Amino acid sequence: MSRIEILMTVPISQTAGNALDERFLVHRLWEQADPAAFLAAAGGRIRGAATSTGFGRVGHELLALLPHLEIVASFGVGYDNIDTAACARRGVVVTNTPDVLDEEVADLALGLTLATLRRIPQADRFVRAGLWEKGSFPLSPTLRGRHVGIVGLGRIGKTVARRFEGFGVPIGYHGRHRQEVPYAYHSDLRGLAEVSDLLVVCTPGGSETRRMIDAALLEALGPQGVLINVSRGSVVDQAALIAALRAGTILAAGLDVLEDEPHVPAALLALDNVVVLPHVGSRSLHTRNAAGRLVADNLLSWFAGSGPLTPVAETPFRGPVRASDRTG
């Protein structure tokens, strides 16, 4: 019997690759001499895809080249790069990797918060530049006395909030719904920004949250305000943020994500009151392996006829029979 053919669009993790190789014929798109020619020639045989945000958009163009695609298993919890409406129309199930990276991203959010407030990277640069011999490092801002506002209290937001509980600071949140949590709910994001001086962005990306942190919001956060973003660069109006950091409209920012990754505007790098990371929230070997395993398990489960393990809400799995069986 011929093996089911899977398209891997970008290198994901060794764990995922190895697990998929055991069961499927895996085509690694980045290894093809001419990826477009490969898709034109072999796209009709592909029944499953493993992808990630690093690949770019999974939309009409790609779906049109893969007429027998049944499932897109995406590496990462965010899937704003996938046109889930187009997948739903085609009957293609989309899966992501929730839960496995919450703790890692929350750890990073806390680390980035402390690094930004206590100016840890700046202090390291100070020592390396030999400046300690000449005097003390300037006093830093603090977490003490701050009011934390979490934007988006999903799995990651809640995990971040639990960590802040340990720091003994008051916590509020903004999201679509009030939840059964011991934190103050703000139905209005501006209201949250006004009472907070540390805003931690944990909301998903996509059109609904695009540039929700804009110039007016930064103004509401205020001159002692600190913005931390571990979600998507698209959530923040980056030009407005740079202007606010430069003008002192807010105090500082810690960014793990940017608008046009991996491009970092020179204007951002020129600022001393920002800590920028190269989207490393979930990037530990432990967590990437767990996410890779879940990508592979979703594909294995699907093609064993047991349905997807972690389908996204927009493409719920509705039956025990997979698409290929339905369409013959």
31 DSSP 8-state letter: G
Among 9, 116, 229, 282, contact with ligand 8YV (rule: CB under 6 A): 282
Interface segment toward ligand 8YV; rule CB under 6 A; list 51-59, 63-71, 161-169, 299-307 = 51-59
Coil/strand/helix, residue 73: strand
The span from the CA of 229 to the CA of 63, in Å, is 31
Alpha-carbon distance of 137 to 158, in angstroms, equals 34
Shortest distance in whole angstroms from residue 167 CB to ligand 8YV: 24
Position among 51, 53, 116, 196 found at the interface with ligand 8YV (CB under 6 A): 53
Residues 110 and 162: their CA atoms lie apart, in Å, by: 11
209 close to 259: Cβ distance less than 8 angstroms: no
Contact status: 206 vs ligand 8YV (CB under 6 A): no
Residue 113 vs 229, nearer CB to ligand 8YV: 229
Interface with ligand 8YV in residues 131-190 (CB under 6 A): none
Q: Measure the CA angle with vertex 226, ends 212 and 256; round to 5°.
A: 70
298 near ligand 8YV, judged by CB under 6 A: no
Q: Is 112 helix (H, G, I), strand (E, B) or coil?
A: helix
- What is the rounded CA–CA span in Å between residue 241 and residue 264? 13
Residues touching ligand 8YV, count (CB under 6 A): 10
CB under 6 A: which stretch of 20-28, 36-44, 64-72, 75-83 binds ligand 8YV? 75-83
- Which among 59, 62, 51 is positioned nearest to 26, based on CA atoms? 51
Evaluate whether 75 touches 292 at the Cβ level (below 8 Å): yes
The answer to whether 77 contacts ligand 8YV (rule: CB under 6 A) is yes
Alpha-carbon gap, residue 229 to 237, rounded angstroms? 12
Shortest distance in whole angstroms from residue 284 CB to ligand 8YV: 10
Is 54 among the residues that bind ligand 8YV (CB under 6 A)? yes
Residue 79 vs 303, nearer CB to ligand 8YV: 79
Host H or E run for residue 247: helix 238-247
Structure tokens at 300: 């294995």
Residue from the set 24, 75, 173, 302 that interacts with ligand 8YV by CB under 6 A: 75
Q: One of 27, 47, 186, 279 is an active-site residue; which one? A: 279
Q: Is 9 in the site for ligand 8YV (CB under 6 A)?
A: no
Binding mask 92-131 for ligand 8YV (x = CB under 6 A): ---------x------------------------------
Catalytic (active site) residue 261: yes
- Per the annotation, the verdict on 279 as an active-site residue is yes
Rounded to an integer, what distance in angstroms lies between the CA atom of residue 85 and that of residue 90?
Answer: 9
Half-sphere CA count of 298, side-chain side, radius 13 A = 30
State the minimum distance, in angstroms, from the CB of residue 83 to ligand 8YV.
16
From 31, 61, 261, 314, active-site residue: 261
Residues in touch with ligand 8YV (CB under 6 A): 52-54, 75-78, 101, 281-282
Active site residues: 232, 261, 279
